[in-house]
Amino acid sequence: MAPMSENATGTFDITGWDEKATEERTGAKMDRVIVGKVFQGDLTGTSTTELLSVHTEAGPAAYVALEHFEGTLHGRQGTFVLQHSAGATDGVQWLKWQIVPTSGTSELKGLRGEGQIIVGPDGGHSYTLGYELD
């Protein structure tokens, strides 16, 4: 059977922000943070993210993270892991997600794809996720 290609969209709320470590370095501040989220839309569930970020004099500069999602994707129950890559140039942010291959469980086994996080002018978060599922 051919893989099924779909797109997921929705929003999420940040429910927890626990700074674990901060290190000041010349020209940069580095943080390690655990982030909790609740998702609405085509993804429904919760996640925990471990995030490493760097801030410079110009503001947030970049972050990388691994996020473990638990819930449903278009009604299919399971878990999977997202790898984040993000940065900002001249105040313009870009945030990308990639599903970690082989991380899907239960009805999400075989899940793969990528997407992005969009931060609105009001600070709200939305997402798009293009994916394939065997």
pLDDT in tens, 41-86: 999 999 999 999 998 887 778 999 999 999 999 999 999 999 999 9
3.50.50.60, 3.40.47.10, 3.20.20.70, 2.40.350.10: which CATH number matches 4-133? Answer: 2.40.350.10
Give the predicted TM-score (pTM) of the model.
0.90
Confidence of residue 4 (pLDDT cuts 50, 70, 90): low
Q: pLDDT value at position 85? A: 94
Q: pLDDT value at position 58? A: 77
Closest CA to 49 of 132, 125, 134, 109: 125
Which residue in the block uniquely carries the two structure tokens 């819930």? 71
The residue with greater pLDDT, 4 or 77, is: 77
Q: pLDDT value at position 11? A: 98
Q: What is d(CA 5, CA 3) in angstroms, rounded to the nearest whole number?
A: 6
- Decide: 38 and 44 in contact? Cβ < 8 Å: no
Confidence of residue 31 (pLDDT cuts 50, 70, 90): very high
Q: pLDDT value at position 61? A: 83
**pLDDT at residue 103 is higher than 60:** yes
Q: pLDDT value at position 3? A: 63
- Decide: 40 and 10 in contact? Cβ < 8 Å: yes
